[in-house]
Structure 1
Amino acid sequence: MPSTTVKAPQESAASLSHGLKQRHLSMIALGGVIGAGLFVGSGAGIAAAGPSIVLAYTLSGLLVMLVMRMLGEMSAAYPSSGSFSAHAERAIGPWAGFTAGWSFWVLLCTAVGLEGIGAAKIVTGWLPGTPEWAWVALFMLVLCATNLAAVKNFGEFEFWFAALKVGAIGLFLVLGVLAIAGVLPGTDSPGTANLTGHGGFFPGGGEGLVVGLLASVFAYGGLETVTIAAAESEDPVRGVASAVRTAMWRIALFYVGSMAVIVTLVPWDAKAVVEKGPYVAALDELGIPGAGQLMNVVVLVALLSAMNANLYGSSRIAYSLVTRGLGPKSLGRVSAGVPRIAVLVSCVFGFGCVVLSYWRPDDVFSWLLNMIGAVVLVVWTIVAVSHLRLRRSRTFPLLTWAALAGMAAILVLMAREPGTRVQLYATGAMTLALAVAGYARQKALPVANV
């Protein structure tokens, strides 16, 4: 265990309620990650990588499993609504906790806005002429009210949201496998035509695989929310370990399995994969009446669920930072077991991102998107370094070093790709600025004995 000369105030977890049950944690783990990245964003990955997107999601999925194994282990030992931020403070120092926490807060709040925009686009497709911003505002209002209520209400809300989309993905996989096997009535098995035709398994070559790999890495972001929620569960130690373990294999099945079904059923270069979304395109290919529109309903629910989970995560990590002396005290006020000021501020920030997307889409909003582009990798790197310094296990430190090597490789790939290089630089600039501010804040914290 490393020593430090600075000791930040400890989080007062007792002021938060403990109303989340095990079933809530399991679904929160799924709800935070199964959103636009899977249902919508995966289309761009398929368009770039072709059938090799399956390999891309497999590789990034293995990396995510390593990260979540580390994070779950530390969260079971030190339950905190600050999750990786609190672990970084303990292992490295308050400046690291500050950097990880506030960068992730910006990411989650921005994601809330992006998910809201995606949900609004679906609704305006059904109701042409209605303003997108008004739908986003309505979604924000409803979900903000949900998060202002007792945490058990949030947990119940998210449980049913997540259960619906998990069930839908499960049904999609079953129908897809039956169609591929040629036993689904009214369909013929595509065989391997879409996997080997249209340019082969690697139509975009190594460059296409790299683009798909980068897209898949960021699609997995959000799984960290379950370790944030663990502090408000009835049994944090058992709860987070079980939730992380089950979430990892389920998400691997959903992501990798879904990609395999889609690229087998639909030509990867079909315009519908990007225009309609890969899931809708696959169901339309099967010719199931109304299936495409039904999937749009599922996508809408998935987006609202991800908004809900991200709003929860952003408010809790802000609360944790404040209670550890790493943020403005006003955000730490708790009422009825809920940090309501943090919830409201996170909502306002998220809706502000939506306003920027309409008001300044080409400069300010674009800059914001670039700035959060590699935050997930920054957080994962901090998780791995924290694990190296805090934990010892049978596989220590080989798997942790393997995860760090994987993240370093992805950062190098980002630097080589023109489309992601700007994101890497923008995220690096934000991380450096936060690290400097965090170090200045650390110097102001009470000094403890070495």
Structure 2
Amino acid sequence: MTMIVLGSALGTGLFLGSGGAIAIAGPAVILSYAIGSILAAIIGGATGEMAVHTPVRGGFGSIAAKYLGPFAGFLTRWAYWTCTMIITGIELVAVGSYLKFWWPQLPLWVGIVIFGVVIILLNVRSVKYFGTMEFFLSSIKVIALTAFILVGLCMVFFGLPGHTATGVSNLTNDGGFMPHGFSSVWLSLAVVMFSFGGIEMISISAAEAKDPARSVRTSAKAMMWRLATFYVLAMFVVVSVIPWSQAAQLEGTVETSPFVMVFSELGIPAIATITNLVVLVAALSAANANLYAGTRLMHSLASDKMAPSSLAQVTAHGIPARAMWVSTLGVILAIVLAVFKPGSAFGTMMTLTMVSALTVWVLILLAYMAFKRVEGNSSAFRVWGGRGTAAVGILLLFAIWAALFAAQGNSTPATVGIVYFLILTMVYFAVIRKVQTPDDDAFAEARAASSQVAE
């Protein structure tokens, strides 16, 4: 469970999107990721506490419906499907961008089309042992990032054969540690928090765990510490080894990754090639996993009459093919943007994802506050500070909402995202309002099963 969550969070947002965050905040991006880690810990912890108490199928979507009402459950589940749908396209944009490391003249849309077809072919076939496969794919990313951090720290403090230690002077060169002021840290959070998408997977996985109380408690704690360590140390290495202004040049072009650039600039092409291959495979696996997840989420929405019922149909092999084709809308969006606006494709889709992710996270914390008011401290795993901590998290999320609109070039896609959710709201009250809250019996059974396993 820990590796699935880490694999979801450690991905393109860090490997590729960090270039945009560095362009905004400079070396102070380290502080941005530290703040982001704290907020991620609050969201992950709140999700974990509710999941331990009620490991119900449907995860935080069902929990939001239980404690905030059916509209909140509807909006949460649609927002989460939207995240997976767009992220599928973003990961393919990343794959196309990484290919430019070897073939600079290759059009971005070509890589998206080729690998889009690949993941669609993978998803039209039955997927077995998904958890085991994701464990190994996530392990590759975690091991690769750990190796990057260790090698990078050696570059900074000890040097490597043929290369003297870089030291930490790059942290204060080119305008100092915070060249654009503290406001840049706030603005960069709109990019940084994209890197933490996937922390809510704890809730989705809880219903499948043999011992939810122990599994979620252990996974949540491990996720919090490891994410904070990985992100902060990785950013420290990047802005220490290469001047931040040089790493920031990737923002807007996304032709490679800051992580690849670290090794390329030091004249270690073999390691740079390997690193690029690793992040490419990581992005491809994430695209495949998100298409798989989006397909099942849409199938679930259709089964619960929150989407057209025809999307609940499955093939003779049990594959929800219609739901899958709808979930490829993110791939189509990526291709269109890559053809007409290749330079801004990644940033535009990231903003659209952030609108959906922020909606999900705010609803999770609001549901947590309602959960605490009703259930008190009855969960075997509890977040320090309870409702007060959740309130701080909500304030931070609203501050990131503001940063999302304030960041240059983000206002149009952010507005599109807001209009999208307004349309969903109108559809709900016009068509889907009769959908009931999750069955209380299902919640009672989930709690009883959790208590029995704990005993």
TM-score w.r.t. structure 2 length? 0.83
Cα separation, partners in 2 of 1:223 and 1:152, compared to 1, 3 Å: farther
Question: Matched residues in 2 for 1:271 and 1:66: separation?
Answer: 30
Does 2:166 match 1:190? yes
Asked if the contact 1:33/1:306 (under 8 Å) is kept, the reply is: no
Q: How far has the Cα of 1:264 moved from its partner?
A: 1.1
**Any gaps of 5 or more consecutive residues in structure 1?**
1-24
Question: Matched residues in 2 for 1:120 and 1:387: separation?
Answer: 39
Equivalent position to 2:292, from 289, 307, 312: 312
Q: How far has the Cα of 1:444 moved from its partner?
A: 2.7
Aligned to 2:13: 37
Aligned to 2:369: 388
Q: How far has the Cα of 1:360 moved from its partner?
A: 5.1
Question: Matched residues in 1 for 2:424 and 2:258: separation?
Answer: 37
Asked if the contact 1:48/1:204 (under 8 Å) is kept, the reply is: yes
Q: Which whole-Å deviations, capped at 9, do the CAs of 1:158-188 have from their partners, x for residues lacking one?
A: 2222211211110111111112222533332
Cα separation, partners in 2 of 1:171 and 1:266, compared to 1, 3 Å: same
Greater alpha carbon shift after TM alignment, 185-194 vs 268-277: 268-277
Does 2:378 match 1:398? no
Q: Which whole-Å deviations, capped at 9, do the CAs of 1:201-221 have from their partners, x for residues lacking one?
A: 011113432332221012212
Equivalent position to 1:293, from 273, 290, 314: 273
Q: How far has the Cα of 1:84 moved from its partner?
A: 2.2
Aligned to 1:6: none
Aligned to 1:410: 400
Greater alpha carbon shift after TM alignment, 332-341 vs 374-383: 332-341
Aligned to 2:416: 426
SS of residue in 2 equivalent to 1:252: helix
Equivalent position to 1:97, from 73, 78, 96: 73
Q: Which whole-Å deviations, capped at 9, do the CAs of 1:37-66 have from their partners, x for residues lacking one?
A: 111110111122111000001111100110
Does 2:115 match 1:115? no
Cα separation, partners in 2 of 1:449 and 1:283, compared to 1, 3 Å: closer
Asked if the contact 1:150/1:336 (under 8 Å) is kept, the reply is: no
Show the 5 A alignment for 1:175-254.
175-254=151-230
Q: Which whole-Å deviations, capped at 9, do the CAs of 1:261-293 have from their partners, x for residues lacking one?
A: 111111101158615421112123443341111
SS of residue in 1 equivalent to 2:420: helix
SS of residue in 2 equivalent to 1:290: helix
Equivalenced residue count is 425
Does 2:24 match 1:48? yes
SS of residue in 2 equivalent to 1:397: helix
Q: How far has the Cα of 1:426 moved from its partner?
A: 2.8
Question: Matched residues in 2 for 1:230 and 1:447: separation?
Answer: 20
Q: How far has the Cα of 1:233 moved from its partner?
A: 4.5
SS of residue in 1 equivalent to 2:325: helix
Question: Matched residues in 1 for 2:18 and 2:245: separation?
Answer: 13
Question: Matched residues in 2 for 1:251 and 1:145: separation?
Answer: 32
Aligned to 1:170: 146
Asked if the contact 1:331/1:339 (under 8 Å) is kept, the reply is: no
CA RMSD of aligned residues (A): 3.1
Aligned to 1:73: 49
Equivalent position to 2:235, from 259, 264, 270: 259
Cα separation, partners in 2 of 1:187 and 1:434, compared to 1, 3 Å: same
Asked if the contact 2:51/2:59 (under 8 Å) is kept, the reply is: yes
SS of residue in 2 equivalent to 1:445: coil
Question: Matched residues in 1 for 2:199 and 2:73: separation?
Answer: 19
Aligned to 1:160: 136
Asked if the contact 2:32/2:185 (under 8 Å) is kept, the reply is: yes
Aligned to 2:310: 330
Question: Matched residues in 1 for 2:2 and 2:144: separation?
Answer: 17
Question: Matched residues in 2 for 1:37 and 1:355: separation?
Answer: 19
SS of residue in 2 equivalent to 1:170: helix
Instruction: Read off the aligned partner of 2:392 and give its amino acid letter.
Output: A
Asked if the contact 2:58/2:204 (under 8 Å) is kept, the reply is: yes
Equivalent position to 1:279, from 256, 259, 270: 259
Cα separation, partners in 2 of 1:133 and 1:264, compared to 1, 3 Å: closer
Cα separation, partners in 2 of 1:443 and 1:288, compared to 1, 3 Å: closer
Asked if the contact 2:3/2:139 (under 8 Å) is kept, the reply is: yes
Aligned to 1:438: 428
Asked if the contact 2:88/2:286 (under 8 Å) is kept, the reply is: yes
Does 2:357 match 1:357? no
Question: Matched residues in 1 for 2:155 and 2:105: separation?
Answer: 37
Q: How far has the Cα of 1:94 moved from its partner?
A: 1.5
Question: Matched residues in 2 for 1:233 and 1:140: separation?
Answer: 32
SS of residue in 2 equivalent to 1:126: coil
Instruction: Read off the aligned partner of 2:390 and give its amino acid letter.
Output: T
Cα separation, partners in 2 of 1:125 and 1:266, compared to 1, 3 Å: closer
Aligned to 1:13: none
Asked if the contact 1:119/1:300 (under 8 Å) is kept, the reply is: yes
Cα separation, partners in 2 of 1:345 and 1:330, compared to 1, 3 Å: same
Instruction: Read off the aligned partner of 1:210 and give its amino acid letter.
Output: W
Show the 5 A alignment for 1:370-381.
371-381=352-362
**Any gaps of 5 or more consecutive residues in structure 2?**
441-455
Instruction: Read off the aligned partner of 1:28 and give its amino acid letter.
Output: I
Indicate the percent of aligned positions where both proteins have the same amino acid: 31
Aligned to 1:11: none
Asked if the contact 2:6/2:223 (under 8 Å) is kept, the reply is: yes
Instruction: Read off the aligned partner of 1:411 and give its amino acid letter.
Output: W
SS of residue in 1 equivalent to 2:289: helix
Q: How far has the Cα of 1:73 moved from its partner?
A: 1.7
Question: Matched residues in 2 for 1:449 and 1:301: separation?
Answer: 41
Aligned to 1:139: 115
Q: How far has the Cα of 1:371 moved from its partner?
A: 4.2
Q: How far has the Cα of 1:346 moved from its partner?
A: 4.6
